């Protein structure tokens, strides 16, 4: 049986979505689905591979390694904070002879979307700020009209 390489991607997710969940975290469904697709396209029976305890243990180890790598290297390097979204893509491998999975972290690409806090603070403050801006807008419109009348 072959060794199959493929590109694993998380999609755009938060750390909570990826690593925490009811039952199994989203990471497992993403990894298993992408392995299944890669293995099937190589003509290997994914069902037989998945039945093997060594393979399932390897997926669990891959998850633990990925989580460690993410929190120890990716988070500090990219200044990821609570609420930020990210996408990670990296090369992965399934060895169908040894029934193991592996990530190549040196090929990783990380994109981060920052959560932006409201510039107004609390909701009551936002409403006050909005009223203030509306008042300034009315004043600006009056000034523009006055300037137009002076020019004509």
Q: Rounded distance, CA 7 to CA 87, Å?
A: 13
The SS3 call for residue 21 is coil
**Mean pLDDT score, 103-124:** 77
Q: What is the pLDDT of residue 1?
A: 58
Reported as a single tens digit per residue, the pLDDT across 14-42 is 888 888 867 778 888 899 999 999 999 99
Does pTM top 0.85 for this prediction?
no
Share of the chain above pLDDT 90, in %: 44
Distances (CA, A) of 71 to 15, 27, 77, 79, 140: 9, 14, 10, 11, 50
Lowest mean pLDDT among 71-80, 87-96, 123-132: 123-132
List, edge to edge, every strand of the sheet that includes 3-9: 3-9, 85-95, 100-113
User: What's the CA gap between 26 and 93, in Å, rounded?
Assistant: 19
């Amino acid at each position: 049986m072959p060794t199959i390489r493929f590109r694993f991607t998380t999609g755009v997710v938060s750390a909570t979505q990826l690593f925490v969940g009811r039952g199994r975290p989203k990471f497992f469904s993403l990894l298993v689905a992408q392995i299944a697709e890669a293995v099937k396209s190589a003509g290997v029976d994914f069902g037989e591979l998945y039945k093997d305890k060594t393979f399932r243990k390897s997926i669990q180890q891959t998850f633990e390694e990925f989580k460690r790598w993410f929190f120890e290297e990716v988070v500090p390097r990219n200044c990821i904070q609570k609420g930020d979204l990210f996408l990670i893509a990296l090369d992965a491998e399934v060895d169908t002879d040894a029934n193991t999975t592996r990530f190549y972290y040196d090929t990783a690409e990380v994109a981060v979307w920052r959560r932006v806090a409201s510039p107004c603070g609390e909701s009551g403050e936002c409403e006050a700020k909005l009223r203030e801006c509306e008042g300034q807008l009315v004043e600006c419109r009056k000034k523009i009209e006055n300037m137009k009348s002076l020019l004509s």
